[in-house]
Amino acid sequence: MTKHIFVTGGVVSSLGKGLTSASIAMLLEARGLRVKMQKLDPYINVDPGTMSPYQHGEVYVLDDGSETDLDLGHYERFTTTHLTRQSNYTTGQIYQSVINKERRGEFLGKTVQVIPHITNEIKEVVLQLDDADTDVVITEIGGTVGDIESLPFLEAIRQIPLERGRENCMFIHLTLVPFLKAAGELKTKPTQHSVGILRQIGIQPDILVCRTERSLDISDREKIALFCNVPLNSVIEERDKDFSIYEVPLSLQANKIDDLILKQLDLPAAGAELDGWHDILHRLRNPEHEVSIALVGKYAEHRDAYKSIYEALDHGGIANYTQVRVQPIKSEEIERDGAEKALAGFDALIVPGGFGERGVEGKVEAIRYARERNLPFLGICLGMQCAVIDFARNVAELTEAHSTEFFRDTPHPVICLMEEQEGVTEKGGTMRLGSQPAKLTAGSKSALAYGTSEISERHRHRYEFNSGYKQQLEQAGLVIAGTSPDQSLVEIVEVASHPWFVAVQFHPEFKSKPTAAHPLFAGLVAAAVAHHTGAKT
């Protein structure tokens, strides 16, 4: 029978449940187990696709086009598990499904209630991941214990061990042990209260993972174990990691969390093979180079809005034995102060995706600066569209070129709404989403980086390169380096005379891992190293 691990969080939000869940999954995979992962989010939005990056961070897109929580990015970066739309459910999706069933008459006239109908639906989406090829399913419950929104999810996972057997289920609770400077000591009371709330619901945690700034001494661990009713060796310290999030799995392993899980769930497993992970940290700690990369975006001050971008740049650094320092710059600052002032001294530029007109001209100006000064550049989604606008205006002499997203009546709509998007009015889940194939142009920088002529990458956009301008821009020197298989859509553009000027319509950051950097991010960092060393000499 497939085993289930449920990960909950208490005291405060943003403790790192996703990172902890991913680290546990990585350790179990290293022991030879087959793992699936899932997150249940308590918000009522159907998915995060329509939510503000300021509130929710980036929207992480899966191969099947699902717009999901950014924690699923941790799952994919840390593990080999294949994620689908079954890997992320929200309160909105759960209630929508139950209401649709009620409208179809499936409840045979019964009064539809939170218990049992909503909780049964939640149990169904968890247990549907069970199969003969899966040893363990890890389900992360979003939010914080004590939130009203989380109660149906907690009630549902309380019931699952009653149906599947307690020996087949495990509860891991992530909590905070704060350090009070005035008292000069760690305080365990918030953890006691958090576990107390869980126990009132009927859930007894098997393992407590304690986030803390300072090390827990034996008296702290003994107090937590006693008052939270867990064995002493099940109180796991997870200190803040100042160096890298990739230290977390090794820290948890040092505390033998994988051994505890295997013993309680009675799972046979091999010894952990973590040489690759140790090599990652060795490269991070012992870089041969250091480069600085400017990230020019609309949400530059909000790191989670570009979470996967930052991680992919780190992966590019790992591949090149390079420390990558990323400086976020608001595109509106470039509109105000000019690109020269903002970008002088950097070794590369990246312009990520985004929506809305605010800051677009700053992105275009930043890209022009990189193109004219041979500064390595990678444009993603809107970053590619802005690169096309810059090239059309300043090289092809189409001075009023623009995107119809921002200027409907532009005389030169080099970026326009996709034909399939005409007439679409609903916002949620209606963009061009998910994995799409592309063919690369032989000899292009992209083809050389990928080492293949055919790729598949994840998309999330409504607007595209206007193919009516393809010939004119190519004649001016723009390289069409990648297209859809039928050549109807432009996926990659480059500038041949530039050392590294690559812009893509898709989101390569979603397929990058610390163990396998995405080719375009590895290429950007390599170009940044060459620029840095060339500038020094």
Catalytic positions, written as ranges: 381, 507, 509
Q: What DSSP state is assigned to residue 49?
A: G
DSSP 300-322: TT-GGGGHHHHHHHHHHHHHTTE
Q: How far apart are CA 334 and CA 329, in angstroms?
A: 8
402: β partners: 413
Q: How far is CA 450 from CA 284, 384, 481, 490, in A?
A: 23, 18, 12, 17
For residue 436, report the phi and psi dihedrals to the nearest 5 degrees.
Answer: -135, 140
Identity of the amino acid at 209: V
**Of 423, 420, 446, nearest to 433 (Cα)?**
420
Terminal C-alpha separation, the chain: 63
Write out the two tokens for 284.
């991070």
244: left (phi over 0), alpha (psi -120 to 50) or beta: beta
For residue 505, report the phi and psi dihedrals to the nearest 5 degrees.
Answer: -80, -20
Q: How far is CA 350 from CA 58, 157, 320, in A?
A: 16, 42, 17
Q: What residues contact residue 80 under an 8 Å CB cut-off, 6+ apart?
A: 29
Q: How far apart are CA 415 and CA 55, in angstroms?
A: 29
**Beta strand pairing status for 490-495 and 478-483?**
antiparallel
CB 383 within 8 A of CB 351: yes
DSSP H helices in 165-256: 189-201, 218-228, 248-254
Q: How far is CA 510 from CA 206, 236, 305, 311, in A?
A: 33, 31, 13, 10
324: β partners: 291
Sheet holding 490-495, edge to edge: 322-330, 289-297, 348-351, 377-380, 501-504, 490-495, 478-483, 432-440, 454-461
Q: How far apart are CA 140 and CA 174, in angstroms?
A: 11
207: β partners: 172
Three-class secondary structure assignment of 237-269 = EEECCCCCHHHHHHHHHHCCHHHHHHHHHCCCC
Residue 162: strand, helix, or coil: helix
Burial class (CB in 10 A: 0-12, 13-18, 19+), 493: buried
